[in-house]
Amino acid sequence: MTDGSAIAGTERVYRHPLAVRLWHWVTAATVVGLLFTGFNIFNIHPRLYWGEVGNAHTIPIIALESTETGGPRPTTRPAPAALRLGSHLWDVTGHLGVVADAGEDGLYFMIVATPDSWQFGAMRAWHFALAWMLFLTWACYSVYTLVGGRLRRTLLPSARQVTARAIVQDLWDHLRLRAPRGEAARHYNLLQKLSYLIVLFCLIPSIVLSGLTMSNAVTARFPELYALFGGRQSARTVHALCALALCMFALVHIVQLFVAGFINEVRSMITGQFEIPRESGK
């Protein structure tokens, strides 16, 4: 839609419906809370495994671990630490890794030290509450997208966008950090559509389902989740990797905001009104 105004070589259009704007901001706030609480949960045991069992005696696939003989113990020097990826080790002593005394529970090797007020139990409770908020808002938006026709109108790539020439041009424009102008700015480009579809129908469902697999109450009712992910620890690994992918999406998303025009993009997600710059020579 357009209001027919042209100001300083731009045209103002109504780009984002209210439902899209509400979902965007609620999801953004929820994801920030989930990443904060999730990091604090992962910080207690920064090791990822595959299968059902995972502990200090299980070989991890990804881990931050102490390289000190006899296990971690508090000292005045930085805790000897290594970042493990499969069979590869990188020394990160002094950059990552601290020892925390947990009293009767022994010692924990953590990524960073956190304040005592950031209690593990409270973080888990907040994480679970925010996860349900993410699921409910995602479910509502998915229904709106599928039933309301937004998937077909806005998110699915058009036939013109999936031609070889259009794909190469889109990639080249992104590499040059070139913002779309004129008619091209009216619609999401191919990479935008693909990234939004992956987040909406792959990343968020995977995060929700893998998170539910780590819940004893849920898996007691739906043990099929273990088979889906290959075990509780596999689900934890998938959960963490999907969260990392979501962080990467958010980072690229913010960079693209500045490329396309930060004020214009943020205003359009608040009011729905988006200003389209005219193409050069027009």
Among 10-14, 122-126, 180-184, which is the least confidently predicted range?
Answer: 180-184
Residues sharing a CB contact under 8 Å with residue 208, sequence separation 6 or more, in sequence order: 131, 134, 135, 138
Q: Are residues 163 and 68 in the same domain?
A: no
Mean per-residue pLDDT for 167-173? 90
Q: Are residues 83 and 97 in the same domain?
A: yes
Counting every residue written for the chain, the total comes to: 282
Residue 243 inside a domain? The answer is yes
Residues sharing a CB contact under 8 Å with residue 230, sequence separation 6 or more, in sequence order: 50, 51
Distance CA 266, CA 253 (A): 12
Q: Are residues 146 and 229 in the same domain?
A: yes
Q: Are residues 19 and 95 in the same domain?
A: no
Total number of domains in the chain:
2
Mean per-residue pLDDT for 206-215? 93
pLDDT at 4: 43
Q: Are residues 196 and 96 in the same domain?
A: no
| b (16+ CB within 10 A) / e for 239-249 | bbbbbebbeeb
Amino acid at residue number 84: R
Q: Are residues 153 and 106 in the same domain?
A: no
pLDDT at 118: 85
Distance CA 217, CA 228 (A): 17
Amino acid at residue number 17: P
Q: Are residues 106 and 120 in the same domain?
A: no
pLDDT at 75: 54
The per-residue pLDDT for range 69-112, each reduced to its tens digit, is 554 455 557 788 899 998 899 999 888 888 877 656 567 888 98
Domain residues for 252? 2-46+116-277
Q: Are residues 165 and 210 in the same domain?
A: yes
Q: Confidence band (pLDDT; 50, 70, 90) for 183?
A: confident
Residue 147 inside a domain? The answer is yes
Residue 21 inside a domain? The answer is yes
Residue 282 inside a domain? The answer is no
Q: Are residues 79 and 170 in the same domain?
A: no
Residue 168 inside a domain? The answer is yes
pLDDT, greater one: 261 or 48: 48
Q: Are residues 86 and 16 in the same domain?
A: no
Mean per-residue pLDDT for 41-50? 93
pLDDT, greater one: 267 or 116: 267
Q: How far is CA 83 from the centre of its chain?
A: 22
pLDDT at 217: 87
pLDDT at 7: 46
Nearest to 274 by CA among 9, 14, 10: 14
pLDDT at 199: 95
The domain that contains 182 carries what CATH number? 1.20.950.20
The token duo for 196 is 């939004």
Mean pLDDT of the residues in the chain: 87
Q: Are residues 27 and 162 in the same domain?
A: yes
Helix (H, G, I), strand (E, B) or coil at 158: coil
Residue 16 inside a domain? The answer is yes
